Amino acid sequence: MISEAVVVTPIAALVIGVLTFAQLDPASGWASFGIAGLVLSWLLMIHLPAKDKQLKEFLDAGADERAKNREHIEQLVKAFAAEQAAERKLCQEELRAVNLGLKVIQTTLAVGQDVLRESVKQIEAHHTWAVSAVSDTLEKLGEASKRGDHA
């Protein structure tokens, strides 16, 4: 098992080396700034790797949550699709019943129209006969009145 002293020792040695180098060679770049170099080395070697680890753990935890959410959404989609299929089937059955009712009404109306047409033809025929009978009677009466017959 690695102890914390083993990890801290190389870091401490690096920090001491950076500070010593900064004191000896002022033109050595960012490390020559002393405290700023120490902060930069702390950022690069300790803080940023810790943040990377924290971010990775957060994303891994989020991945599990996203997988659960994805499964839940898939279940909801399947349930919704099944419900929609049942609703569609019910609507189709109701539509068939309505269409059947409309066909019955159309047939009834067609029969009624045929009956009415036949009745109109019979009335016209009877009317024509009655008019011709009345005409004949009026003609006979007119002829009889001209002749002076009163029958």
- Model confidence pTM above 0.85: no
**Average pLDDT over all residues of the chain:** 80
DSSP string covering 7-43, please?
HHHHHHHHHHHHHHHHHH-TTSSGGGGTHHHHHHHHI
pLDDT at 111 over 80: yes
pLDDT at 11 over 80: no
Angle between helix axes 35-42 and 4-24 (nearest 10 degrees) is 150
> What are the φ/ψ torsions at residue 54 (nearest 5 degrees)?
-65, -45
pLDDT at 27 over 60: no
Task: Please state, in angstroms and rounded to a whole number, the distance separating the CA atoms of residues 62 and 34.
Answer: 40
The predicted structure's pLDDT at residue 102: 95
Task: Please state, in angstroms and rounded to a whole number, the distance separating the CA atoms of residues 90 and 20.
Answer: 85
pLDDT at 98 over 70: yes
Average pLDDT, stretch 47-51? 86
Max Cα distance, the chain (Å): 164
**Could you identify the residue written with the tokens 């801290």?**
8
> What are the φ/ψ torsions at residue 55 (nearest 5 degrees)?
-65, -40
**Could you identify the residue written with the tokens 């500070």?**
19
**Domain spans of the chain?**
34-147
Average pLDDT, stretch 15-44? 63
Torsion of CA 67, 70, 75, 79, to 10 degrees: 170
pLDDT in tens, 125-147: 888 888 888 888 888 887 777 77
Average pLDDT, stretch 49-76? 88
Cα 69–Cα 82–Cα 87 angle in degrees, nearest 5 = 135
